[in-house]
Structures are given as structure tokens and as C-alpha cells.
């Protein structure tokens, strides 16, 4: 959506960032366009959270419950869900599944603000408005956790156990 200078915590005035190039830089590895992902070649899919999921993989940051999810993300989520393979979503990325997997159970944190600890409580209402159920459990191998949104740990090992690997 826009480029952020994370050192200053504000948008940059100019320049674009290529998501594939940035992903390769961060992962220090070979990155492939999501359009080429085939569910049969993978044991699980993991979507990290952060504003990228809310601004680039979807329009949730702007549109809330009326958001759109980019078509390749939607296809991948539906393909993995249909194949009953593990899907791992953390932080804000569970809204992606809430939007495209009808009736899915997800979690992004608490339902109430809790004295400043959970300033994103409104997200749970958006998830419910999307037709998903907000709980803290997994169903159909969709594993979600709140991460940064609610000061918790990320347990990637749990999703790998679901794949049987």
C-alpha cells in the first residue's frame, strides 16, 4: 500500500518496494511468486502477520470487514484448506482466512480491550462480521495466534506437527 521507513516509524515520501525482493532479503533465500505455489508441493502454508497482511495481502487496514483479499492469497488458502493441510496465520493475518474460508475459527487476541493491553479489540468484531468465529483453538488444521497484537509467542512447531513432518 505504501512504503514505511521502520527506523522512523513513518511512510517514506518516495520509492517503491518489490514484495518479492524484500521477502528474499528478509528470508535470505529463494523466493517464488505466490501465483506459482502448488498445494501438492508443500506440507503447510504459513502467513506471518503485520501490516503487510492488512495492507498488501488484503485491504483490511483500510476497509475492515468490507476488505478484499488478493486473489492468489485467497486461492492458496482455499487450496490448502480443501487439501486439509495445515494453515498457520499469526497476528492480523487470520483476517485473511476469516474473509475467504466461510465459518472458519480464528483468533487475533481478546474480545475486550483489557486496560490497554489489547488496543485492537475491534478486530474480533470484524472477524465475526466476516462470518468467522473468533476462538482460541484450531479446526481443520487452521492454526492462528495473536502474536504482536496481544503480546504472545509464535509457535511454528505446532503447525509443523500437524503436517506430520
pLDDT in tens, 11-52: 776 667 777 887 788 778 788 888 999 999 999 898 888 888
pLDDT of residue 140 exceeding 60, the answer is: no
| Alpha-carbon gap, residue 78 to 35, rounded angstroms | 13
pLDDT in tens, 74-128: 999 999 999 999 888 888 899 999 999 999 888 877 677 667 666 777 788 888 8
More confident residue, 134 or 146: 134
Q: Cα–Cα–Cα angle for 118, 45, 19, nearest 5°? A: 80
Domain limits, CATH 3.40.50.880, in the chain: 37-162
- What DSSP assignment string belongs to 11-75? E-SS----HHHHHHHHHTS----GGG--GGG-S-EEE--SHHHHHTSBSHHHHGGG--B-HHHHH
104 exposure class (CB count in 10 Å sphere: 0-12, 13-18, 19+): buried
Q: What pTM was computed for the model?
A: 0.74
What's the confidence (pLDDT) of residue 98? 93
By annotation, the residues acting in catalysis are 91
More confident residue, 70 or 143: 70
Q: Which listed CATH number (3.30.1360.150, 3.50.30.50, 3.40.50.880, 2.40.50.140) goes with 37-162?
A: 3.40.50.880
Amino acid at each position: 500500500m505504501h512504503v514505511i521507513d521502520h527506523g522512523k516509524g513513518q511512510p517514506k515520501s518516495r520509492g517503491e518496494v518489490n514484495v518479492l525482493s524484500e521477502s528474499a532479503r528478509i528470508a535470505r533465500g529463494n523466493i517464488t511468486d505466490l501465483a506459482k505455489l502448488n498445494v501438492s508441493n508443500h506440507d503447510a502454508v504459513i502467513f506471518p502477520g503485520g501490516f503487510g497482511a492488512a495492507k498488501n495481502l488484503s485491504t483490511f487496514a483500510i476497509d475492515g470487514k468490507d476488505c478484499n483479499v488478493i486473489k492468489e492469497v485467497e486461492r492458496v488458502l482455499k487450496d490448502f484448506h480443501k487439501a486439509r493441510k495445515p494453515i498457520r496465520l499469526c497476528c492480523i493475518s487470520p483476517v485473511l482466512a476469516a474473509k475467504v474460508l466461510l465459518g472458519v475459527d480464528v483468533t487475533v487476541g481478546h474480545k475486550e480491550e483489557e486496560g490497554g493491553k489489547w488496543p485492537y479489540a475491534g478486530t474480533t468484531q470484524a472477524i465475526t462480521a466476516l462470518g468467522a468465529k473468533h476462538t482460541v483453538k484450531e479446526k481443520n488444521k487452521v492454526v492462528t495466534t495473536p502474536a504482536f497484537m496481544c503480546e504472545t509467542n509464535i509457535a511454528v512447531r505446532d503447525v509443523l506437527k500437524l503436517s506430520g513432518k
